[in-house]
A and B are shown apart, each in its own frame.
Chain A
Amino acid sequence: MSGQVTRAAAALASAAFLACATAQPPLTPTAEGATAAVDSDPWQGFNRSMFWVNDRVLDRFIYAPLAHGWIYITPLTVRTHIDQFFDNLNFPGYFVQPLLQGDPKQSGVALGRFAINTTVGVAGIFDPANHYLGLARRPEDMGQTFGVWGIPPGPYVVLPLIAPTSTLRDIAGLPIDWILNVGDSYFWPWFAPYGETMIRDINRRALFDADLTAAREAAFDWYSAARDAYLQRREDAIRNRNGLETEAPSDDLYQIDESGKSPD
């Protein structure tokens, strides 16, 4: 039920957002990159509360204990293969999105991966396409395609469960991803949605457990560290298309600010 409500809400938000986005001239990627971390969080009050709910309530009392139990009863290889199985189901999205991004070569890679891993890789449980042919996994989604089209990320948004960290643009892409990225989808048969998403999410949470714990421990301000990591990852995923891998992020970051007094 609530899944349908959130889906409908996201679809609405999606339509409204796209209407706004097309009415505005898109920012250039460099301008966007330079200001991304500073000006991108106008709804911080709301986001911080939601982040707290996600992090200190839902994760702490539900996801983390389940993930730890899962780690206890499964070996790492099993978790890896489960993740690969779900990732293989994302084929439609991984195929369609690069086409929309003008990167048909990557669609070919996705097609090859799906054909090989579904057959030789036993329904995607194994990843021979990467191990033997070097066709590496590269997740693609609607938000990335919007980014390639020049739509800026918009405000940073945190929602319980459906978007632990996100941006308006990426949330706008979610309904499409739910249809295309089958393995990441809440679009599974109505009679079995929660079991599937539970296994997928808990398994993924378990795979990232060590990284998450380390990142949380290392952060001086966990909220902004998580936000910045998400924004940077997304920019990287958008930039990281075939032929453009070598494009550098903005050099501005590496300019030492000389406006203040010098240290010595």
Chain B
Amino acid sequence: MISIKSTRAASRRISAWLALAVLLLAGAPQALASDEVAAAKASFQKTVDDTLAILNDKALSKDERLRKLENIAVDRFDFPRMTQLVLGKNRSQLSAEQQREFEEEFRRSLSLTYGKRLETYTSNEKIEIGEGRLEANKDVTVRTRISGGSAPPDGVRIDYRMRANGDKWLVIDVIPEGVSLIQNFRSQVQEIVTQKGVSQLIPTLHEKNESRQAARAS
């Protein structure tokens, strides 16, 4: 299209078009998606970048890496809110102190699960951040797909539900292949409360975490 004999005028016109195209491309995501979606996605992207930086830092020991990842998780996940959601209507039966204990066990359980998961990480995994969706209650769901490396051949679809807390967008649910973590834990909590009574809830969680930790250590 562009001939070698292009005049200065033509090249100026081309650079003007290029500048416009760059402007349009840069402006498009913000213009199309709402402010909420853009903010949530930006926050999520940062979490991904920080996580990958730690995962790919080969100088870190296994324990250091896990501790750093836990710090990120505490910073970017809204554990108090997740705890409230998981407890659902059972929350009214727990004191503020018990709710904090529950949150602690819940967090520890996730740390044990994902700590183990990350051991299979090969650094060939790719995470694609897809579209964000503004929910009716102003939460934002960010769709992602992980493929390559330790992921199955068709990849894994993981949605992250985020909610604004002040000016920070924090993850409140992780939904791999349509299975909400919050919903899944909530069912288990309900089951334990129904079967054993609410007084046994925290001891059940605590016991399980202890035995997992012991199995991990040996």
Contacts and interface: CB of A to CB of B under 8 A. Distances in A.
Contacts of B65: none
Interface of A is mostly: helix
Given A218-B112, A233-B177, A224 B190 contact: yes
B88 A236 contact: no
Given A37-B183, A246-B133, A256-B84, A263 B192 contact: no
B119 to A, nearest CB: 11
A108 to B, nearest CB: 19
Interface in B148-178: 152-154, 161, 163, 172-173, 177-178
Contact of A232 (B120, B180, B192): B180
A260 B188 contact: no
A224 to B, nearest CB: 4
B184 interface: yes
Contacts, number: 117
Interface string B76-110: 00001100110111011110100110000000010
Contact of A263 (B80, B93, B152, B161): B80
B9 interface: no
Contact of B161 (A237, A239, A254, A255): A254
Contact of A221 (B120, B136, B192): B192
Contacts of B178: 232-233, 235-237, 239-240
Given A235-B178, A251-B137, A260-B91, A229 B184 contact: yes
B135 interface: yes
A232 B179 contact: yes
A207 B154 CA distance: 13
B46 interface: no
A183 B192 CA distance: 38
A264 B96 CA distance: 6
A127 B161 CA distance: 32
Interface of A: 37-38, 80, 84, 127, 130, 136-137, 207, 210, 214, 217-221, 223-225, 227-229, 232-233, 235-237, 239-240, 246, 248-249, 251, 253-257, 259-261, 263-264
